Chains A and B, each alone.
Chain A
Amino acid sequence: MKFRRFAILVRQTSAWRGWPLAVAVVALALFPHVGGSFYVDLVLTTMILSIFALSLELLVGRTGLVSFGHAAFFGIAAYATALLSPSSQPPSLAWLLPAVVAIAALAALAIGAFCLRARGVYFIMVTLAFAQMTYFVFHDTKLAGGTDGMYLNVKPLLALDGDTLVDLRNPRTFYYATLVLLVLVYALLATIGRSRFGHALAGIRANEQRMRAAGFSTYGYKLAAFTLAGGLAGVAGFLHAVKDGFVSPEILAWHQSGAVLLMLILGGIGTLRGAVLGAFAFVLMKELFQSEALFGAFAKHWQLPLGLAVIACVALMPKGIVALPTQLRRFRAPLLHAG
């Protein structure tokens, strides 16, 4: 009994709540020293996707806006990175990243201004349609290589007085830069979650009409959230472009928007750690089904098991990995009582 009260006390203090996060960050920081280069690359990809998923979590989980067009801002940022980079001289990170994020945020502001006029299921369809529009802009016009995509010639670096501080051409540096950005985005969203703005967004999710009656301009709040989410997706898009050194219209395709929504629901909607866990689960699942060692020639058809897994996951654990312990406990509880 005494122990239980102690356990509850520990659980309530912030130290308890924070330690899994700290362990995760340390583990990610140590990983390049122990993992093989293939796995390090995989974790890097996942961290970029985590930032992408976190940015959407602000809309879906926090504000209750289901956007099916979030890949647009990821893609716009990736294209902006490629288009703004000079062909020979490495660009400075100091202006390139802010510029790219600003472009993605501006695009989100413009598109959001239209989409947020629609509600509920209309919003889902309209965001999908606008994302498809940006896809066609890059797919059909010669703005950035059309269907062929375009290459990013030189990767950016950060220099001060001639000394290179951060050189993203170095894979190890790039890994840590991504980790730092992931932590920063996570911290920013956690701070927003506790702020007045974040509470207003949560209020909109719970009952928009009541928020309006309480004197909040909900449209303005939603647009601010949409813009911010677009900008943060831009961070992920920037990292993606720098990592691959290549952008193509496929990164704006609606499958990407679907995949990032999937990450959220896999991890558990409504929590930041859910978004990150979901990104990891998604990448692992994809790697698993694409593995020729496990599935042989059938690995070519990896989308079939993925599709079935998606249906099963959404059907059986709609609250995601985060809620799995509670779900299991609830499942076991009646058995214990019966025994």
Chain B
Amino acid sequence: MDLAVFLVQCLNAVQYGLLLFLVASGLTLIFGILGVINLAHGSFYMIGAYLAYALAPLFAAQSGGGFPAALAIGVVLSIVFGYVLEWVFVSYLYERDHLQQVLMTYGLILVFEELRSIALGDDVHGVAVPGWLAGSVPLGGVMTYPVYRLFMSGVCLLVALALYAVIARTRVGMAIRAGASNREMVQALGVDIRLLYRIVFAAGVALAVFAGMLAAPVTSVYPGMGNQVLIVSFVVVVIGGIGSIRGALLASLLVGFVDTFGNVLVPQIAGVLVYVLMAVILLWRPEGLFRTG
């Protein structure tokens, strides 16, 4: 493997890892703060990708090929959707045990998949990369790297930084951190915990939908795409430690590198490698790399 190939694979690994982080951070936040194990989280990713497919023709005339407009609309829709879903469904899961949460959100996956099938069919769709991001940059003479993937990594990194800033530096973030470690105390101090939960859930949904919309031009859009991401996100959460954003970031990048280089170096067993990584981490640290609370 020469340097240019190595560099390209590193970029791919970072890009995949960061994308995974957007999904896994929502999953880990929702579990860490709301205490809900949400199997339907992968469905939000799937919904995001189909949203990108469905919205693309509507905004094609806008500036930037309509891509920024579609992203913005998608994020607004997903926040509203997440807010309402927490209100009408997820809020009823708080007092239930994990098994019931698992099964009810599993039922939700079936519902989302079929609604998607009814609305948009079961075909695989491609989503065009927006024109202004379609080129590629030269890399070490012979290799080139698509601009869109660089753009993806950049955007994901910005979102990760923004997430960190919100959680570490703002009052809402303070309430979120406090809510993760002691729910009753936060409530006693006068924070509206129900509103906080609604915000966290909506943010988690928005992150996953945003990830799906970003990924759509690269991965294409297909039924069941959310499940694959969901399970890898679980691996990320287990490795990183439940409720830890920092852990999720580190674990996503770790999984990104292992998966990408596994596919290059040992393609026969690449599918299994991520789980082997998880097993090794589990032997070393049963509660994940960063355990909170």
Chain A positions near chain B (C-beta within 8 angstroms): 60, 66, 68, 114, 117-122, 124-126, 128-130, 132-133, 136-137, 139-141, 254, 258, 261-262, 265, 269, 301, 303-304, 306-311, 314-315, 318
- Cβ–Cβ contact B104 & A310, under 8 A: yes
Partner of B272, one of A128, A136, A303, A315: A136
- Cβ–Cβ contact A303 & B113, under 8 A: yes
Interfacial chain A residues near B269, Cβ < 8 Å: 140-141
Can you list 11 A-B contacts with CB-CB less than 8 angstroms, sorted by A residue number? A118-B286, A122-B242, A126-B238, A129-B238, A136-B275, A307-B114, A310-B110, A311-B111, A315-B92, A318-B96, A318-B100
- Cβ–Cβ contact A315 & B99, under 8 A: no
Interfacial chain B residues near A121, Cβ < 8 Å: 31, 37, 98, 242
Interfacial chain B residues near A262, Cβ < 8 Å: 103, 106
- Cβ–Cβ contact B103 & A310, under 8 A: yes
- Cβ–Cβ contact A261 & B287, under 8 A: no
Interfacial chain A residues near B238, Cβ < 8 Å: 118, 122, 125-126, 129
* A258 and B105 alpha carbons, distance in the complex (Å): 11
Q: How many A-B Cβ pairs are below 8 Å?
A: 120
- Cβ–Cβ contact A117 & B282, under 8 A: yes
Partner of A129, one of B100, B103, B242, B275: B275
Interfacial chain B residues near A140, Cβ < 8 Å: 268-272
In the complex, what's the smallest C-beta–C-beta distance from A136 to chain B, in angstroms?
A: 3
- Cβ–Cβ contact B99 & A60, under 8 A: yes
- Cβ–Cβ contact B282 & A265, under 8 A: no
Interfacial chain B residues near A119, Cβ < 8 Å: 286
Given A117-B286, A304-B110, A310-B110; A261-B272 close (CB under 8 Å): no
* A318 and B98 alpha carbons, distance in the complex (Å): 12
In the complex, what's the smallest C-beta–C-beta distance from B221 to chain A, in angstroms?
A: 19
- Cβ–Cβ contact B102 & A261, under 8 A: yes
Chain B 90-132 interface residues, beta-carbon cutoff 8 Å to A? 92, 96, 98-100, 102-104, 106-111, 113-115, 117-118
Given A114-B283, A137-B272, A304-B114; A128-B234 close (CB under 8 Å): yes
- Cβ–Cβ contact A136 & B271, under 8 A: yes
- The list of the 8 closest CB pairs from A to B, nearest first, reads A307-B110, A310-B107, A136-B271, A133-B275, A304-B114, A307-B111, A311-B107, A303-B110
B76 at the interface (CB under 8 A from A): no
* A125 and B106 alpha carbons, distance in the complex (Å): 13
- Cβ–Cβ contact A114 & B282, under 8 A: yes
In the complex, what's the smallest C-beta–C-beta distance from A208 to chain B, in angstroms?
A: 14
* A303 and B275 alpha carbons, distance in the complex (Å): 29
Given A304-B111, A307-B108; A124-B272 close (CB under 8 Å): no
In the complex, what's the smallest C-beta–C-beta distance from B265 to chain A, in angstroms?
A: 15
Interfacial chain B residues near A125, Cβ < 8 Å: 37, 234-235, 237-238
* A306 and B115 alpha carbons, distance in the complex (Å): 12
- Cβ–Cβ contact A301 & B275, under 8 A: no
In the complex, what's the smallest C-beta–C-beta distance from B38 to chain A, in angstroms?
A: 11
* A126 and B288 alpha carbons, distance in the complex (Å): 11
Given A118-B238, A130-B275, A308-B111; A124-B104 close (CB under 8 Å): no
* A137 and B227 alpha carbons, distance in the complex (Å): 17
B20 at the interface (CB under 8 A from A): no
* A278 and B106 alpha carbons, distance in the complex (Å): 17
Given A126-B238, A126-B278, A129-B275; A314-B104 close (CB under 8 Å): yes
- Cβ–Cβ contact B103 & A265, under 8 A: yes
Given A117-B282, A308-B111; A129-B231 close (CB under 8 Å): yes
In the complex, what's the smallest C-beta–C-beta distance from B48 to chain A, in angstroms?
A: 20
* A271 and B283 alpha carbons, distance in the complex (Å): 33
Given A121-B31, A129-B231, A140-B268; A314-B275 close (CB under 8 Å): no
B279 at the interface (CB under 8 A from A): yes
- Cβ–Cβ contact B110 & A306, under 8 A: yes
Partner of A301, one of B99, B106, B118, B235: B118
* A308 and B242 alpha carbons, distance in the complex (Å): 29
B237 to A, closest residue via Cβ: A125
* A304 and B227 alpha carbons, distance in the complex (Å): 17
A133 to B, closest residue via Cβ: B275
In the complex, what's the smallest C-beta–C-beta distance from A93 to chain B, in angstroms?
A: 32
* A120 and B103 alpha carbons, distance in the complex (Å): 15
Given A121-B242, A304-B111; A133-B272 close (CB under 8 Å): yes
In the complex, what's the smallest C-beta–C-beta distance from A264 to chain B, in angstroms?
A: 8
* A140 and B274 alpha carbons, distance in the complex (Å): 14
Partner of A254, one of B231, B237, B276: B231
Interfacial chain A residues near B106, Cβ < 8 Å: 258, 261-262, 310
- Cβ–Cβ contact A126 & B282, under 8 A: yes
- Cβ–Cβ contact B98 & A120, under 8 A: yes
Interface centre among B107, B108, B269 (most CB of A within 10 A): B107
In the complex, what's the smallest C-beta–C-beta distance from A318 to chain B, in angstroms?
A: 6
In the complex, what's the smallest C-beta–C-beta distance from A122 to chain B, in angstroms?
A: 6
* A114 and B276 alpha carbons, distance in the complex (Å): 11
A304 to B, closest residue via Cβ: B114
Partner of B283, one of A117, A141, A301: A117
Interfacial chain B residues near A117, Cβ < 8 Å: 282-283, 286
* A307 and B108 alpha carbons, distance in the complex (Å): 6
* A121 and B36 alpha carbons, distance in the complex (Å): 10
Partner of A303, one of B98, B114, B227: B114
- Cβ–Cβ contact A261 & B111, under 8 A: no
* A118 and B276 alpha carbons, distance in the complex (Å): 15
In the complex, what's the smallest C-beta–C-beta distance from B111 to chain A, in angstroms?
A: 4
